Amino acid sequence: MGSPTLIDCDPGTDDALALLLAFGSPELDLRAITVVGGNLGLDRTLPNACAVAGLIAAPPAVHPGADRPLLGAFTPEPRVHGADGLGGVRLSAGPAPRAELAADAIRGHLRASPTPMTVIGLGPATNLALALATEPALAARIGTLILMTGAWGEGNATPAAEFNAFNDPEALAILLAAGAPTVLVGLELTAQALATPARLASLRARGTGQALAAACDIQASVPASARLGGVGAALHDPCAVAYAIRPDLFTTRAARVTVDLGPGPSRGRTVIDRWGRGGGAPVTLAETLDADGFFALLGERLARLP
């Protein structure tokens, strides 16, 4: 049996691929998917999560969460994810979402799990922060908190800030202060998981299942990133799931991180100290990725799905 796992996400094209990677991986016993707004509003991210869950036979429960950050409003990204959040790829509706809200479901699972859980955050940190702010002792029930967020250099939402951090910096600051052992998978790492047309073609050639086809169709809709040279798009969120499955594909470094909560142009910036100068929450920072190993893992696991 795999490690008991929760995924919080905002599908989102790369979130969809991350969920499918988790579904195909026996190392993870995925207990629930909780959903937050972000890439688009919750009115899109929630049905998208259900539709992706519907690609497998016995999906985990899907719970609705926050449709706004702790302050203000989310800034959606339809240019990357399409107006529907899945690049226009039409899927069946999948299972209905549960009535129980995300923060309640997260707390319930953390309380009930007989062993510490792996918690993977792929969107703005709102749901996870709400869960832990209302029952801080549950941080001790998290074995590893893996967050796709932040950057030690340039951002993608603004020059200073990565998208998930920018969309709820207060929640990210709360989450980082919660005390769970945290792995940060930021933009410098995910830039190494560059889905080029050649890599997508080999992924598609791995099988004929509907999940693999959907993953490839969704990713093919994502425009090449000018920030990354226009040769492909980064598979951000699947990197965080891959860390939970195959940490040996990564090199890491102990670091500390502070989130800029100011109102100016640096809002949402993750100030990451990689050189032990002190200050900020301790994290394990993922620095390098075996990209060929990552794409081999993705292909192998997606090809197992129906």
Q: Residues interacting with ligand BDR, by CB under 6 A?
A: 12, 14-15, 39, 77, 80, 122-123, 148, 156, 162-164, 236-237
81 included as an active-site residue: no
Catalytic residue among 63, 81, 109, 236: 236
In the shown chain, the binding pattern of residues 7 to 46 toward Ca ion, with x for contact by CB under 5 A and - for none, equals: ---x-x--x-------------------------------
In the shown chain, the binding pattern of residues 103 to 122 toward Ca ion, with x for contact by CB under 5 A and - for none, equals: -------------------x
Counting residues that bind Ca ion (by CB under 5 A) gives 6
Query: How near is the Cβ of 279 to Ca ion at its closest, in Å?
Result: 28
Query: Is the CB of 122 or the CB of 161 nearer to Ca ion?
Result: 122
Query: Is the CB of 23 or the CB of 163 nearer to ligand BDR?
Result: 163
Query: How near is the Cβ of 9 to Ca ion at its closest, in Å?
Result: 6
Of 275, 193, 176, which Cα lies nearest the Cα of 232? 193
Query: How near is the Cβ of 222 to ligand BDR at its closest, in Å?
Result: 10
Query: Is the CB of 123 or the CB of 232 nearer to ligand BDR?
Result: 123
* Catalytically active residues, by annotation: 236
